[in-house]
A and B are shown apart, each in its own frame.
Chain A
Amino acid sequence: MRQLRVWLLRFKGLFLKGARERDFAHEIETHLQMHIDDNIRAGVSPQEAKRVAVMKLGGVEQTKEAYRDRATIPFLESVGQDLRFALRQLRRNASVTFAAVLTLAVAIGANTAIFSVVNAVLLRPLPYPHSDRVINITTTSLLRGLDDLVLSDAEFNEFKEQTQTLEKMAAYASGALNLGDVAEPERIGGTEVSVDLFSVLGVTAHLGRTFTSEEDMPGYEPRVLMSYRLWQGHYGSDPNIVGKTIQLNGRNRLVVGVMPQGFHFPKDDTDIWMQLNLDPASRVLNAKYLNTIALLKSGVTREQAESEINAIYQRVREKYPQYYKNETGVRAGVVGLQEKNVKAIRRALLLLLGAVSFVLLIACANVANLLLARAAVRRKEIAMRSALGCGRWRIVRQLVTESLLLSIIGGALGLLFAFLILRVLLVGSPLDAIQIQSVKLDLTALGFTALVTLIVGLLFGLAPALHASKVDLNEALKESDGRGSLGGLRHNRTRALLVISEVTLSMVLLIGAGLMIQSFVSLLTVDPRFDAAHVLSMRLTVPGAKYPQNSNVTALYQELQDRISAIAGVQSAGIINQLPSDAEKSEASFEIEGRPFITDVDREDGIADYRMVSHSYFNTMGIPMLRGRTFTDQEGRQASPVAIINDKLARRFFPGEDPTTKRIRLRPDSPWLQIVGVVPDIKNQGLFADTSQEMYFPYAENSFGLPVMRTMAVVVRANGDPASFINPIKAELRTIDKNLPPYKVQTMEQVLAASVSKTRFTMLLLTVFSVLALVLAAGGVYSVMAYSVAQRKHEIGIRNALGAQSGDIFKLIMGQGFILAIIGVVLGAITGFALTRVMSSLLFTVSATDPKIFIAVALLLIVVALLACYLPARRAAMVKPIIALRNE
């Protein structure tokens, strides 16, 4: 308590300097006077009396100094002095300060922005209690990589009964529903969940309640929980919604609760939850559709859970071999919910974080360079202070205070930049809506910025400070201004090293950017094998309640297709169950007439993807027939069953033969299908992926037992902007059925753009960062060379006087810059070679060590470095001999 009071008083003492010092000077004066009086009374001469008094006191200034140290906090007081001095220095060198602060602000701003995205997406735990213990069960196989484990009812029950490491385990199956009986009917995401799901996640209802165990029993009528978003959007946040019914897929369902804002498990678009009504005694094995989520028992490690889960999985596989593909080396494992969510974007984000920290390092090197140059100019000042008894530590502290002040101003401005950068960044990002929402400049980001700012200040401040404080007093004081005896870069090793590292880092960044640009360009030049221009797509799902029969569904789609085709400006309309770039796909094994049926499902080539299309689909999408013909509009109704295959399938099974003379069938008990045509290998799995073997069937055909396709996509080719046909098409749809909402309404060009959005995002940011790096590095080279020339004016003047041609001088300076650039480029190439491997999974058709990119980037850097040397070199070449003499 007392100590606190003392420190408070001393702190206060920092600010009341003048009055206190006057007061104390007065006190000392009286003290001396009294002493002198006494001495004189004792018979000493006045001079001697004064001398003795001062000596006895121990010196007036010393006493004042000791008193001051006690009255304030000496350390803080000198910090205050340093700060004031630093501010003065920064103001005096306004241009240097401006350059440094701007450089730092951009670099720190970019770092803060990227960090806050990383923080929101990768680091911040999901908003569930125990989110570190919530896991998904996955499988890994050599063939398919990491996948979600999808289980049948019976298997889920076995897992649930056998597990010892999981506290709770819940199942869910996602789909979509038509929301009706509202102003704007809509297709919304819905998930069937087992009752434990909410307790695994630790989430309770915002309004009402979640499901009870009783409601989750088999046979219980379906009830619904809705999302906050749906509640607000369609029901005006009706506080009495619980207990009312809403219309889903044409049926009325009782609402039991509203979930909290932002809760959309498992997917961003999930707005409805219903009970799964899983039978604990179910023996159903052939329908695998359940995803699982589980809560680890506390204290159980991931490894323990993983080995147990895998053991159960292997037992289940052995028990029901007929339901598993004959694939070896499949393991079950667990993955944290968060890791799973960010799997797709994780690597790209980390890459960007790495890149942006490179930019920061380059910025540091640049500012350090500026400070070094300035420290050299201040050599005399520093030597003077040192001569006057200022310790080295004190000088370093002064200089570091200056650089910290710079970095703090830069950091503050950087925050502003970060705010602006984030706004632009998020618009073009491939993040989903929830992830974007969670990106904020929050306390963590502020802390990060503060930390980065301090580290940066020390990083670029300490080296120049240590360097500058190590002055040889005699040398420095003897020198006249501006002309050192130190020429050449050999004497500026620190600066040369800084420039080399800048070039190195820029080289690595440019290589990364070059690789991404190359990938993106390759992606853009990929021919999707269909013509996306002027095509609009939208999806529909026809509810079973209103359209129970397959024929009802077909009739609806047929009518819709006819009506759309009749709209003025529409060239044609087609139907397909899965659009190109859709994540989902359907596979089937097939048999070729006259050849042995490949029963071994493990053999990939016995399987093909299949799609259901209307006869006008290929025409609408601008897909030519390589062979044969497309379907007729009668096929699927009366005509004999037919199929179309793609080129890949044709080449694999009918090389040198005419496929249109062949017949295939999907099962021994289904009819033979005549192949009538061959289409090109359409990029159906996205531009990245190779096309699989494919079969196409008329969508209306169902004589061979494929499931009824209730969800279909409509594609429309129109004159002009396809988006302008959205409303007329919706109007046609309403005249057929007003409760049938179209969804995912997009032009095919948008669909394609979305499939490359991650690559585009990464490429754009990497390019921006590397251009920034290039500019900074060029600035670094320029400032070092310019400084070196300025320092060597004298020497160059003498060279000129001795007969050197201006061309020689020009070459000399250019040569020095060239050497710096070459060293940096070589080091950068080596570093790049080692580092770019981490991005190979983000690249497309280009190798991570593509020599073309490496060479192009190296040339670019060298040219830029030489350009940066040009001005200083020219200036050097024009130095007149007289200048050398004048400088004497």
Chain B
Amino acid sequence: MSTKTEIWQGTLALMILKTLDTLGPLHGYGIARRIEQISGDRLSLNYGTLYPSLLKLEQEGWVVSEWGVSENNRKAKYYKLTRSGRKQLAREEQEWNQTTAIVAMFLEPVEDQS
């Protein structure tokens, strides 16, 4: 198997939200490319999986979509973070940091007490 990391749903949603927060309104393809770039191509991402995630975020009200025109003059659907989406991002970021911090503590080499 490849050394690329599989990605799971919750994380993908967080990445999408963060991407939209950083770059502003963006189409699906752009989001996919950005995620790959940021990960330094270490993530194995089927671009297709992005769309159900985007739809879910839209259903939850974190993002809204709207047809627009791309830099290359193509009609594309643009996703935009909503205000509640931004709050949700902050919440998820904080949770994520907490979780990783806790997990990290477990994984740190423990000094031998004896």
Contact = CB atoms under 8 A, between A and B. Distances in A.
Interface of A: 2, 5-6, 9-10, 23-24, 26-28, 30-31, 33-35, 37-38, 56-59, 62-63, 66-67, 69-71
Contacts of B56: 6, 70
Contact of B51 (A10, A34, A59, A66): A66
A27 B74 contact: no
Contact of B52 (A23, A30, A31, A69): A69
B23 to A, nearest CB: 15
Interface in B31-67: 33, 46-49, 51-52, 55-56, 59-61
Nearest to A56: B47
B77 interface: yes
9 contacts: A30-B75, A30-B77, A31-B76, A34-B74, A35-B29, A38-B33, A57-B47, A63-B49, A66-B48
A69 B51 CA distance: 11
Contacts of B48: 57-59, 62-63, 66
Nearest to B52: A70
B interface secondary structure, majority: helix
B46 A56 contact: yes
Contacts of A33: 74
A642 to B, nearest CB: 101
A507 to B, nearest CB: 60
In the complex, which of the residues B49, B51, B52, B74 has the most CB atoms of chain A within 10 Å of its own CB atom?
B51
Interface centre among A37, A59, A63, A69 (most CB of B within 10 A): A63
Contacts of B46: 56-58
- CB-based closest 9 A-B pairs: A63-B48, A58-B46, A58-B48, A70-B52, A57-B48, A6-B59, A34-B29, A31-B29, A30-B76
B72 interface: yes
Interface residues of B, number: 21
B60 A2 contact: yes
A9 B51 contact: no
Given A34-B74, A57-B47, A71-B55, 13 more contacts: A6-B56, A6-B60, A9-B59, A30-B29, A34-B27, A34-B29, A56-B47, A58-B47, A59-B48, A63-B48, A66-B51, A67-B52, A70-B59
A30 B55 contact: no
Contacts of A2: 60-61
Given A5-B61, A6-B60, A56-B47, A27 B52 contact: no
A5 B59 contact: yes
Contacts of B61: 2, 5
Interface-centre pick from B47, B49, B72, B75 (highest chain A CB count, 10 A): B47
Nearest to B77: A27
Contacts of B55: 67, 70-71
Nearest to A20: B55
A59 B76 CA distance: 19
A56 to B, nearest CB: 5
A188 to B, nearest CB: 71
Given A56-B46, A58-B46, A66-B51, A27 B28 contact: yes
Contacts of B75: 26, 30
A30 B51 contact: no
A5 B60 contact: yes
Contacts of B33: 38
A457 to B, nearest CB: 34
Given A27-B28, A66-B51, A34 B76 contact: yes
